[in-house]
Amino acid sequence: MFALIAQPIWNAIVADAATTAQPPTETTFEQAFDRDPIPTELYGTHLPDIGQQLGELAVVDEYMAALKLKQGAGLERRLRHAWSSVSVTPASPSRAQ
């Protein structure tokens, strides 16, 4: 599943997990890409360079999984339920003078 996440939200999720010990980059890479040959070819020799970004991706993925926002049956229903508690007040249209 792919999602666009606003940078401030991403930063907050990652900062919240900053005190938690993270597994080695190689382990995170294997968990994220399941030994897929394409990511392995693209990033395999550059793991030290992408360690921080990969760790952040893993943290955000775990956060989404904990909220059950992973792809699967009922995702749309869960998202509608999650957003139903959000209250948004529409802005008044500005009056042209």
In a domain, 45, yes or no: yes
In a domain, 3, yes or no: no
In a domain, 34, yes or no: yes
What local confidence, expressed as pLDDT, does residue 17 receive? 82
In a domain, 29, yes or no: yes
In this model, does residue 12 exceed pLDDT 70? yes
Please say whether the beta carbons of 63 and 13 come within 8 A. Answer: yes
Q: What is the extent of the structural domain holding 44?
A: 23-69
Q: What is the pLDDT of residues 28-80, one digit of tens each?
A: 888 888 888 898 898 888 988 988 888 888 888 888 888 776 655 455 555 56
SS3 74: coil
Residue 64 amino acid letter: M
Count of domains for the chain: 1
Report the chain's C-alpha Rg in angstroms. Answer: 18
Please say whether the beta carbons of 25 and 54 come within 8 A. Answer: yes
In a domain, 80, yes or no: no
Q: What is the pTM of this model?
A: 0.61
| Structure tokens, 87 | 């209250």
In this model, does residue 96 exceed pLDDT 50? no
What local confidence, expressed as pLDDT, does residue 88 receive? 47
What local confidence, expressed as pLDDT, does residue 69 receive? 67
In a domain, 76, yes or no: no
